[in-house]
Amino acid sequence: MKILFCGDVVGRSGRDAVIEHLPRIKNLLHPDLVILNGENAAHGFGITRGICDDFYKAGVDIITLGNHAFDNKEIMKSLDSDHRLVRPINYPAKTPGRGFTFFDLPNGKKIMIVNAMARLFMDPLDDPFAAIDDLLSKYPMGGSIYGIFLDFHGEASSEKMAMGHYLDGKVSAVVGTHTHIPTADTQIFPHGTGYQTDAGMCGDYNSVIGMDKIVPIQRFRKKIPTDRMQPASGPGTFCGTFIELNEKGLCTHIEPVRCGPRLMATH
């Protein structure tokens, strides 16, 4: 079983990078499941119905979100109806949408895709560890649940790595998003869970984490109100993570995927 995860898509540059590179990557790696984090896909803030449909047409199976999940109000109508669209599981009860979904495999078993948001330097949501514990008590790996993939959306590398070790052997893989910088720590933990602190972004890396450089630099230098940040508009680089699972749903191989004009390419 092979999973391709596409890191945070930022603005049009990121969308174009996915549309351009995903078909070739799929032909090269032959993933059975393609997951994409789309929370910054609409001009850097949130996602729209039309963008979701474009990603599905391009070959994406599941879209995860994060702290910008609700920035575009129009997507609220889709969060309950679109079972391929997943927001963080640890939002308060009765928040629109779902924190996990299932992808059906040809043999009748399922992969569970979970989205959770960290709390350190992030919005004060419910405890993600407790939320995952509760979910796994209902849907443990084994039986009909062949594998479990967690997109852990957070700022602090320590919190992401703690979650990875905490879930070692309980899920197939834990891959972080949100910082938009690909980390060099792809690894398999002792009990078989694949891990990477952050998959990086799909977007223009001649930027400040996907945004045009001028406004972020002004904010850091002057600490005064500035114009709204705008996504950088140069050629986008595709970043993600490729994972292979064994018959027990545990990770046997994990590697970064990078292609485009700015970072050292892996494929």
Concerning whether 191 is annotated as a catalytic residue, the answer is no
3-state helix, strand, coil in the chain (%, to 5): 25, 30, 45
Q: Cα angle vertex 190, ends 185, 194, to 5°?
A: 45
Asked if 202 and 222 touch (Cβ cutoff 8 Å), the reply is no
DSSP SS3 for 184: coil
Q: Using CA of residue 17, residue 19, residue 23, residue 26, what is the dihedral sign? A: positive
* Residue of 206, 177, 165 lying closest to 68 (CA atoms): 177
Query: Cβ distance 49 to 74 under 8 Å?
Result: yes
**Is the Cβ–Cβ distance between 116 and 149 less than 8 Å?**
no
Please name which of 152, 151, 189 lies closest in space to residue 169, comparing C-alpha atoms.
Answer: 189
CA distances from residue 223 to 14, 173, 206, 218 in whole angstroms, order as listed = 28, 39, 23, 7
Instruction: Indicate which residue of 21, 30, 43, 68 is catalytic.
Output: 68
Q: Residue 126 has which token pair?
A: 């419910």
Under a CB-based contact definition with an 8 Å cutoff, are residues 190 and 168 in contact? Answer: yes
Q: Hey, which residues are catalytic here?
A: 68
